[in-house]
Amino acid sequence: MLLKILVLAIAAMGAASAQSDRRNCESSCGNLNITYPFGSGEGCYYSPYFLVTCDRSSGGEPVLFFGENTTNIVISNMSTSKSEVEIMMFVGRDCYDSSGSVGLDEPTLTLTDFRISAKNKFVAIGCDTYAYFEGRRGGDQVDGTGCMSKCGRDSRLTDESCSGVGCCEVAVPEGLQNFEMTIFSVYNHTNITDFNPCSYAFFVEQEQYNFSTTNLLDFENVSKMPMLLDWAIGNQTCNQAKDKDGFLCKENSKCDQDYGGPGYRCNCLEGYEGNPYIADDCKNINECERQIHDCEDKHICVDTPGNYTCTCKDGYSGDGRKNGTRCTANQSTVIKIALGISTSVIFLFVCVTWLYLVLKKRKLITLRENFFKQNGGIMLQQRISGDGSSQNQAKVFSIEELKKATNNYDESKIIGKGGYGTVYKGVLSDNRIVAIKKSKLADQTQAQIEQFINEVVILSQINHRNVVKLIGCCLETEIPLLVYEFISNGTLSDHIHNKDNLSALTWDIRLRIATETAEALSYLHSAASVPIIHRDVKPMNILLDDNYVAKVADFGASKLIPIDQNELATLVQGTLGYLDPEYLQTNQLTDKSDVYSFGVVLVELLSGKMALSFDRPEEERNLAIYFLFSLKQGRLFQVLDERLQLNEVPSEIIQVSRLAERCLRVKGDDRPTMKEVAIELQGVLASTIQKHPWVVSGSNEDEGEYLLKELTTDYESTHGGNISNASSSTFDSMSKHTILPIASGR
């Protein structure tokens, strides 16, 4: 009792002295700023428990005195606003070697004006560890808790995981005034002393420690850990202490009514900062200078003691705050502003309109010239300038014409997308229906520009009934456009691969499509002014009109072959399943590459199957290989399209199958030319028409007679005989090959 009276008397004297003159008090020790109610020196601290002793012999270490039976504790940080002090608390340990225990240290701590903060956690480290603590929370009430940590040599330890394997942790109860720590090992760390000789236990701030697996061995070098203590003034509440001498909450501060004690705490009022325990130290915060206000950007912030106000400019009223009534213009001001804005807008509109009319034509011309050059217009002019005839030159459309034709490229007008662009259906002003291709040249690389110009030049040189006709192009846009004749009946792929298509192509129509496609490719290879290799022959690039007339399309990957060259070295381009294997290996492109691709098309017409499909069994995935194998095994019938509804294999199908086999030979030199393929197919088709004149699917009888006459003339001019002698000409060459047996069942 005498000791308590003495402590209170000293505290009162210290408080009074500190308020009167703190000029002789030390303000720092080492890296720590010391501020009241803590202090170093006579009359500089609130009570003996707030005395900070600066141990300069160890380089300036600030320590707190917690009682005669407690070792002085080093302070690492303190806060008057949070009423917290951070100390470096000792780590408890229980160590062993092969002979047994070699050291036990179980630290304790007893507090008076301080409490152990609930922001700490209690941690135990070790593979044979049980640690707990007990403490009082006012009166004689004893509380405690702890945890156990186990592990072995083969345990899976994880950094930052303190769940009981190598490390465990528990929360600290709030308001403890003291603690006594107990550590022990169940098996004395037997058989694990080489990698974990000790058990450790300590209090630590929750954010200041994360477990590491190396701690099991290297933690012996750690003697202290940062621990938080809460503090308060005396043992009276705010209401009990505020009217008594020695009350420490000074000007511009308040007593914290939310703190539940024991004792009381002081805080600076809102809008002030500093130490509330020192007279006149809670200073006003200038929110305007620090930009921590909510005044509207265009209005003025005025600092006031503990707060600020927002003033509106002349002609405005309100509180000027973003979250308040803001500043609104007075009626007269609104009228003036409206008149000013209206006048300015009218004047600006007149100026802009005049300037727009003056510059529009010049800017439009410049922009179109830039796009024209960017899209290879000069290159196109150079490529076609050598052609003195104008009949093959494409028309150059304006951007307005094509926008109108496609309803500004509406998505509903899209009829196809490919590797080189998107195709739209459009209607020109003269009511012609066209297909407009928008190329993918957004990045404007030189290779893509050349690709686009290549397609224009190639198509402008072609004049064949079975090649899609180029009508024109547009170079005035960032992405250049091509305009083709519109082919209404989709692609060959749509008809032979769409299983839901009720109007499946008959064999006679398929044969005619194959013949027309071969004639078109033959024309490209041998009859065009400069030989052209298509390089991407496939059903997707063969279009059909309403009468199933074939039109070869998509020349984006094509190559012009100089007359004095038979092959070109190029980067491999094309579609898997149709690529010439010889071209794929050598990069040498020849007209026989198109022959191989056409052979795959023939097989698709015969089988109705896709060239490459991973949905089929492995041996059937590549259609060309599977077809050749089936033909060799005499099982042609099982490859044929079931929709042909054949009970037996007609001779025409056998002839076309043999032709496809020759087209698919690995060596290009072993394949026929496209011209030979076309002639042979003409012979097969002419023979079919002679036997079944109704197979011609032209629009009327005259057209069928014309086609029969034309095929007969072409064939006889090539073979020097009439169609009745077909078996002694072209078909004689086929008779030299043994006809493999054909499976009779489906």
Q: Which residues are annotated as a binding site for ATP?
A: 438
| Number of residues assigned to the chain | 746
Q: How far apart are CA 29 and CA 147, in angstroms?
A: 37
Q: Is 266 exposed, middle or buried (0-12, 13-18, 19+ CB in 10 A)?
A: buried
Which of 547, 552, 587, 548 has its CA nearest to residue 570?
Answer: 587
Please check whether residue 59 is in contact with residue 30, taking contact to mean a CB–CB distance below 8 angstroms: yes
**Distance between CA atoms of 397 and 399, rounded to whole angstroms?**
7
- Which DSSP state fits 673? P
* Beta strand residue intervals within 457-539, DSSP E: 470-474, 481-485, 532-533
CB atoms within 10 A of CB 156: 9
Neighbours of 143 (CB within 10 A): 15
What spatial distance separates the first Cα and last Cα of the chain, rounded to whole Å?
114
623-632 helix and 591-607 helix, angle to the nearest 10 degrees: 70
Collapsing DSSP to helix, strand or coil, 199 comes out as strand
* Nearest of 172, 227, 222, 171 to residue 204 by alpha carbon: 227
Question: What secondary structure does DSSP assign to 36-61, as a single string?
Answer: TTSBSSTTSSSSGGGBEEEEGGGTSE
State the Cα–Cα distance between residues 626 and 620, nearest whole angstrom.
Answer: 5
433 forms bridges with which residues in the sheet? Answer: 427
Strand, helix or coil at 209? coil
Binding residues: 438
Residues identified as active-site = 536
Distances (CA, A) of 461 to 377, 421, 560: 17, 22, 11
